[in-house]
Amino acid sequence: MTMRILKLDAGGRPIAWITREDGALLYCREQVAWEAGVEEVVLRGGYSRRTGLRSVLRVNSIVATTSMDKAADGWAGKPALTNPRLFRRDDYMCLYCGEVVPPQLLTRDHVVPVSAGGRDEWENVVTACRSCNHRKANHALEAIGMRLLAVPYAPNRAEGLILENRRILADQMAFLRTRVGSGSRLRVP
């Protein structure tokens, strides 16, 4: 897997992970407002017939675009809820029994069951082992004497980007770490 570039808007808000080729396009279109990373990737092109020199483009690991983020979910928006992100948010731990379980043996549980009006959203889902999910089934926690070890929460945009990428460079992680909310339980190196 190749290095991903952390794309920011002009205000320094993290937007998305992009490929190094997409990062190169930002430079070529003169859409890079500033850079914040230490790392960079060097892209080499063809040789000039006139000079014999090879073209080189350096793409920083963190680039801010010249525009502000106008995406519907924006800075305050929640990242899309997926099982891999959920399991990583909860550190691969069943939030009922506390057991750390391999991802392939984990399930998504709705604290308030969907059949009882619960929604499929960050604040209502937790990571559960199959045994606890089966035990809880379609019941309210109080009705069967189960308790949550932690309250589910929605990660902010920066935390969502950490949850999404497994190969984050040190300078990118340092940048994102400063933007993870104080209520986050995500362990960031």
Q: Band the pLDDT of 79: cuts 50, 70, 90.
A: confident
Q: What is the pLDDT of residue 166?
A: 79
Q: What is the pLDDT of residue 7?
A: 95
Q: What is the pLDDT of residue 188?
A: 61
Q: What is the pLDDT of residue 1?
A: 55
Flag whether pLDDT at 117 surpasses 90. yes
What distance in Å separates the CA atoms of residue 41 and residue 21, rounded to the nearest whole number?
10
Q: What is the pLDDT of residues 94-113, one digit of tens each?
A: 999 999 999 999 999 999 99
- Burial classification of residue 154, based on how many CB atoms lie within 10 Å of its CB (0-12 exposed, 13-18 middle, 19 or more buried): middle
Nearest Cα to 19, choosing from 43, 36, 54? Answer: 43
Domain ranges of the chain: 5-76+158-177, 83-144
Q: Angle at which helices 157-164 and 170-177 pack, to 10 degrees? A: 150
Scan for tokens 């589910």, then name that residue.
152
Q: What is the pLDDT of residue 70?
A: 58
Q: What is the pLDDT of residue 163?
A: 87
Q: What is the pLDDT of residue 3?
A: 84
Domain boundaries 83-144, CATH class: mainly alpha
Flag whether pLDDT at 182 surpasses 80. no
Q: What is the pLDDT of residue 77?
A: 67
Q: What is the pLDDT of residues 61-74, one digit of tens each?
A: 999 999 876 553 44
Paired residues of 125 in beta bridges: 110
Q: What is the pLDDT of residue 113?
A: 94
Strands 40-47 and 5-8: unpaired
Residue type at 30?
E
